[in-house]
Amino acid sequence: MVRLTLELIAKSLSQKNRRDESLAQHLRRITHLKLSNKNIDNIDDLSLCKNLNVLYLYDNQIRQIHNLDFATNLRHLYLQNNCITRMENLTSLIKLEKLYLGGNYITVVEGLENLEELRELHVESQQLPLGEKLLFDPRSLHSLAKALSVLNISNNNIDELSELAVLENLSHLIAVDNQLHRVKDVEFVLSVWTKLIKIELNGNPICHKPKYRDRLILQSKSLESLDGKEIKEMERQFLMNWKASREARKKNRVESSTNEHAPHSHFDNSVMG
């Protein structure tokens, strides 16, 4: 296995970008590091790289997120397809905007309480214990409520979305290949996510429910794409007219039924005479 050290970084850097500066000076200046698919299993002290904005560490063997406290300027962190079991030691990454953790062994989305600028979170396809689903720490969800715009939770055995309703600024949800089977549950979150533009739910049981697409389009005025298929304004207008017509017919039936069963007044003509 390989430790991610300053020496390893030095070997990966192009000599032509070094100018006439020392390694330490160059490390302090770099903003992007690409170290994917290097068989790395451990992150060493990289505190010289204090101006790092983007760190690519996907397709490695990393088991623990640590030694990133120095990276207070980090904006994008790519850690997908590693062996990470816990979301931890992320509190110093206060400027982080995009976090990629798909394809790991994470069971709980947690440890994000300080990441109030996080706009994208990708935690798809975790290697979960048999029969378990990905869980969410309410404290982390609360911290992400204002900023999070894109969430990818695909292929994680998730069977309901209501706890994610706090993510009020969500614009794109990717939740394909899960276990969502109640349309009412999805309708509820759509009623709260007023900025949602795209939702992808392919591969869930609800996709086979009667009038699934119609119900979701009617529930959300902001939605522009459902399961990769554009929602045209004409389609939404047709469904809204159909719904209004159906409700009007129902109202007329109720009124007719009420009138039929209403008690009639009988006047005694002899009294009036």
Average pLDDT over residues 114-119: 95
| Residue 30 banded pLDDT, cuts 50, 70, 90 | very high
Percent of the chain beyond pLDDT 90? 74
The full DSSP string for 132-149 is ---EE-HHHHHHHTTT--
- The helix (H) or strand (E) run that includes residue 247 is helix 233-260
Asked if pLDDT for residue 49 goes beyond 50, the answer is: yes
At 234, give phi and psi (nearest 5°). Answer: -65, -40
pLDDT of 261 > 80? The answer is no
Out of 47-51, 76-80, 99-103, pick the least confident: 47-51
CA gyration radius, the chain: 27
pLDDT at residue number 20: 67
Closest CA to 25 of 8, 40, 6: 6
What distance in Å separates the CA atoms of residue 200 and residue 152, rounded to the nearest whole number? 9
Please state which of the four CATH numbers 3.40.50.80, 3.40.50.300, 3.40.50.1010, 3.80.10.10 is assigned to the domain occupying 2-248. Answer: 3.80.10.10
Q: What is the mean pLDDT of residues 241-261?
A: 73
pLDDT band per the 50, 70, 90 thresholds, residue 267? very low
**CA dihedral sign, ordered 66, 67, 70, 75:** negative
Mind listing the pLDDT tens digit for each residue in 56-96?
A: 999 999 999 999 999 999 999 999 999 999 999 999 999 99
| Tokens encoding 228 | 């990769």
Would the pTM of this model clear 0.85, i.e. be above it?
yes
pLDDT score at 220:
93
What pLDDT does 273 receive?
38
Question: Can you give the residue ranges of every domain in the chain?
Answer: 2-248
Give residue 193's pLDDT band: very low, low, confident or very high (50, 70, 90): very high
pLDDT in the model for residue 212: 95
End-to-end CA distance of the chain: 110
Closest CA to 126 of 117, 118, 113, 136: 136
Q: Mean pLDDT over residues 46-65, rounded?
A: 95
Model pLDDT, residue 66: 94
* pLDDT confidence bin for 233, thresholds 50/70/90: confident
Helices (H) and strands (E) in the chain, counts: 7, 14
The pLDDT of residue 127 is above 80: yes
Q: Reduce the secondary structure of 164-230 to three states and give it as a string.
A: HHHCCCCCEEECCCCCCCCHHHHHHHHHHCCCCCEEECCCCHHHHCCCHHHHHHHHCCCCCEECCEE
